[in-house]
A and B are shown apart, each in its own frame.
Chain A
Amino acid sequence: GESVGLHLPTLSVQEGDNSIINCAYSNSASDYFIWYKQESGKGPQFIIDIRSNMDKRQGQRVTVLLNKTVKHLSLQIAATQPGDSAVYFCAENTGTASKLTFGTGTRLQVTL
């Protein structure tokens, strides 16, 4: 069936380095993608989103890249900080369907 998945379950980076978290999706009809951050014991927190008519979108210290040819999504975090330590999920949505389909998550560990 259609699914969204992540390549790396855990990513460890040093404070100040850039982080790249990857996500593969299989539903070619998906047209909206979101990255969420989830800290321990909390709900998913919106980071950034992108629509399928774009291939790049930038926020504050974060950039999302979308490659529709290979159905790949990535989240780049610049100058990673200890507060960035969390699990990151990509999620996708298709057309007018209301549900978000989440990937399995990547744990980002920031070392000092």
Chain B
Amino acid sequence: EPEVTQTPSHQVTQMGQEVILRCVPISNHLYFYWYRQILGQKVEFLVSFYNNEISEKSEIFDDQFSVERPDGSNFTLKIRSTKLEDSAMYFCASSTSGGGNEQFFGPGTRLTVL
């Protein structure tokens, strides 16, 4: 069964450093998403991406964040200058179409900012 994969599973970084979180969505999916989950809290939407551009983003997704689909398979989330409060689980998801359809989630990357 096809699945969303994410690397690394755990990333530790120093405050102020740049990090790139990587995702490989399901191959025939066209919509890609990033969510985050701070420990013990609910899953929060960050951004959605379709047709090589951002289709929707939340207030959390400020200028420190960016997304990219550098090739036909990878989808990345970059945080330019990490802050302590960026520590969280980051989940990538993908779906065949936009609203009103199941989103398939990856296993997540745990980001720890020291």
Whole-angstrom distance between the Cβ of B108 and the nearest chain A Cβ: 5
Q: Contacts of A97 on B, CB cut-off 8 Å?
A: 56, 98-99
**Stretch from B11-19, B41-49, B65-73, B75-83 contacting the other chain:** B41-49
CB of A25 closer than 8 Å to a CB of B? no
Number of interchain pairs (Cβ within 8 Å): 68
* Cβ-defined contact, A96 with B99, below 8 A: yes
- Taking CB atoms and an 8 Å cut-off, the chain A residues in 32-61 that contact chain B are 32, 34, 36, 41-46, 49, 51
Pair B105/A99 contact, Cβ less than 8 Å: no
Are A99 and B102 within 8 A (Cβ)?
A: no
Cα(A96)–Cα(B50), bound, Å: 13
Which B residues have a C-beta under 8 Å from some C-beta of A?
A: 4, 31, 33, 35, 41-45, 48, 50, 55-56, 58, 91, 98-108
9 contacts between A and B (CB under 8 A): A32-B99, A32-B101, A34-B103, A43-B91, A46-B103, A89-B43, A98-B56, A99-B56, A104-B42
